[in-house]
Chain A
Amino acid sequence: MLINYLKLAYKVLLRRKFFTFVSLFGTSVTLMVLVLASAMLDHAFSPLAPEVRLDRTLLVTYMAMRGEQNEWSGDPGYGFLDRYCRNIPHVERMSIYTGAHAVASFVNGDKVVSQLRRTDADYWSILDFAFVAGHAYGPSEVANGSHVAVISESAARNLFGGRPAVGRTFETQGQTFTVTGVVRNVSRVREAAYADIWAPITTLPTEVWKTALMGDCNAMLLADSRSSFRSIRSEFAARLPHVVMTEPDRYQTMAGSPRTRLDDVAAGAAGTSGDIPRTGMFIGALALLALLFMLLPAINLVNLNISRIFERVSEIGVRKAFGASTGHLVGQFIVENIVLALLGGAIGLLLSVWALQLINGSGLLANADFRMNPRIFLYGLGFSLFFGVLSGVYPAWRMARLDPIEALRGGSR
């Protein structure tokens, strides 16, 4: 029976080419957008190199100092992180690092712009960079404020052409750095890891950063397990009232909490002050958006399907006369719709691969490497089937319940 249904589905698709095109277009484009979105989310939130421990990492990226008249919110300072965030129980390792900022170098008179981030030594043990040459700087270089740097492959190419970079020097921001290692390029999406040049945090030109409560630093707290997040946050919160404010006449309290990457993005997207990231609401909104995004074309497909199936009332009448039950007919139309949806899904997946390559090659997001992985492929397949069933069940059920006599009157061939 299935072969008969499949054969008929194939014929029906060929019969109404425009309808088939509209259905396939709707399904494949919707699917492509969803697959792209999931590829981006996957790329941003999954534990991928170098952020391989992201699933048990909490980030301190946002704090707020508050007074009666004033509020200063943003990145915390090294002074706060160093003095109040160390030695929290269940934190295996902690790293403090600055944001990545554009800096200029001149190579043979040409300006080369790179992203520079300054870090401590633990940064290299929490993140797992792929070194193509040399090595990272260690605690002694950081303690001594050595002017050494790790650079990315693209920075190496820009600064030194094709020549080996390790041991060479380059100049930026009035400082000269010696390259100790070269790593593979890191995606822009990997917030904590992305940069072109990494140098010891102690090479910052002034001394102010050492005591600042607010500034340009972030911290990664590597927990012993995900289940420790709650106790780490509690300990963090318990320490905040003890922070000695540097400008007590303007700011009296500090607020903020270590977050996961998802919390961080959720807080940014919601535009909240960040004390409470409302991640659940963010995920709910995303899910609702995705559902609406799928539902609207599905409703459209339902209408198209009703028109298409109405053209086949005579066939429904014949099948009913010869013993087809409502279940048989619903099954038949669902098989047809699933075939259509899977076809749309296959085209959608091909479009997605093409679009991902286009985005990767466009340089829109530096070093981004969005890929179709098996998990995303399965999401795509699931979406397609969801479409097939959603857009097929209602019209099939409605048509299958047609009175056979009315159905037989509906067409004559």
Chain B
Amino acid sequence: MSTMTHEAGTAVADRPRPNGHAAIRLSGVEKIHRTDRIETVALSEVHLAVKPREFLSVMGPSGSGKSTLLNVIGLLDRPSKGTVEIDGQNVGTLPDRALAAKRNREIGFVFQTFHLIQDLNVLDNVEIPLLYRRLAAGKRRALAQEALERVGLSARTSHFPSQLSGGQRQRVAIARAIVGRPTILLADEPTGNLDSQMGDEIITILEDLNRTGTTIVMVTHDQRLASRTGRIVRLFDGRQVE
């Protein structure tokens, strides 16, 4: 499958996709968190197909399963039941190592709290996903620089996260998420820690990425931002209600 073997330098929009495959397909997905005493149903009977190049937002109250859904799509968590397909491939049977490789190649993450490594400068932070590919240092640097240019931070490469504003940190996090040219970008409340102006800037960047071919699934509480995406999925108590 071409999307599984692409090189980091290939533009997302240029990559062919198999006809008829959803970028993401969840069928009857259930996720139950079990402890010794209790079972919590985080997701129940979720059926979701996200088309290639779609920009989808997931909304719902706290505890409705939004982040769990994102974790399952992002291959960070395995569903208790049901199947998950990424670009037509059922990932349920893949071992952890293969899941890690698939995350590295095909999925980018943006977190609400940025999760930048404080001891590394901006360029080194952005480079992280490329460390787990067999790429020469020069190539990594060039790709990281390019990703930073896309988010308008090419002048801050040697700054450390503590020297940046919240909006700038999130832009670094987006650059890190897209540096490996993933087909799918998962954003968990990317504007949650930002004021509305910075939030708008971040959404504009995501819209831009979506226009160039990236499939985006964004969790948000903000109806105004969600309305700028192509589709809204609502969850309540782990169930898909819309």
Contact = CB atoms under 8 A, between A and B. Distances in A.
Contact of A325 (B74, B100, B105, B113): B100
Given A323-B105, A413-B161, A318 B77 contact: no
Contact of B119 (A11, A322, A326): A11
A323 B103 contact: yes
Interface residues of A, number: 27
A412 B166 CA distance: 13
B87 interface: no
B120 A318 contact: no
B129 A322 contact: yes
Given A322-B128, A322-B132, A7 B104 contact: no
A322 B137 contact: no
A321 interface: yes
Nearest to B173: A318
A413 B119 contact: no
Contact of A405 (B71, B115, B117, B129): B71
Contacts of B132: 322-325, 328
Contact of B117 (A318, A323, A408): A318
A325 B97 contact: yes
A339 to B, nearest CB: 14
Interface string A306-322: 00000000110111111
Contact of A412 (B113, B128, B129): B113
Given A1-B131, A321-B103, A326 B115 contact: no
A212 interface: no
Contact of B120 (A8, A325, A326, A408): A8
Contacts of A326: 96-97
Given A324-B100, A404-B76, A317 B71 contact: no
B127 A4 contact: yes
Contact of B114 (A323, A328, A413): A413
Contact of A413 (B101, B103, B115): B115
Contacts of A8: 117, 119-120, 124
A343 interface: no
Interface in A356-409: 404-405, 408
A327 to B, nearest CB: 8
A140 to B, nearest CB: 77
Contacts of B71: 405
A3 interface: yes
Which of A4, A318, A319, A320 has its CB near the most chain B CB atoms (within 10 A)? A318
B76 A405 contact: yes
B55 interface: no
Interface string A10-21: 011001000000
Contacts of A412: 113-115
A318 B101 CA distance: 14
Contacts of B124: 4, 7-8
Nearest to B76: A404
Contact of A317 (B103, B115, B119): B115
Interface in B92-146: 96-97, 100-101, 103-105, 108-109, 111, 113-120, 124, 127-129, 131-133, 137
B137 A408 contact: no
A12 to B, nearest CB: 6
Contacts of A11: 119-120
Interface string B165-191: 000000000001000100000000000
A321 B109 contact: yes
Nearest to A319: B128
Given A405-B76, A413-B113, A323 B119 contact: no
B208 to A, nearest CB: 21
A408 B104 contact: no
Interface string A267-281: 000000000000000
Interface in A316-360: 317-326, 328
Contacts of A404: 76
B119 A405 contact: no
Contacts of A321: 74, 76, 103, 109
B25 to A, nearest CB: 21
A405 B124 CA distance: 23
Nearest to A14: B119
A1 B127 CA distance: 10
A285 B176 CA distance: 55
B103 A322 contact: yes
Contacts of B128: 318-319, 322
Contacts of B114: 412-413
A320 B96 CA distance: 10
8 contacts: A11-B120, A318-B115, A318-B117, A319-B128, A321-B74, A411-B115, A412-B113, A413-B116
Given A408-B76, A413-B115, 4 more contacts: A325-B132, A326-B97, A405-B77, A408-B115
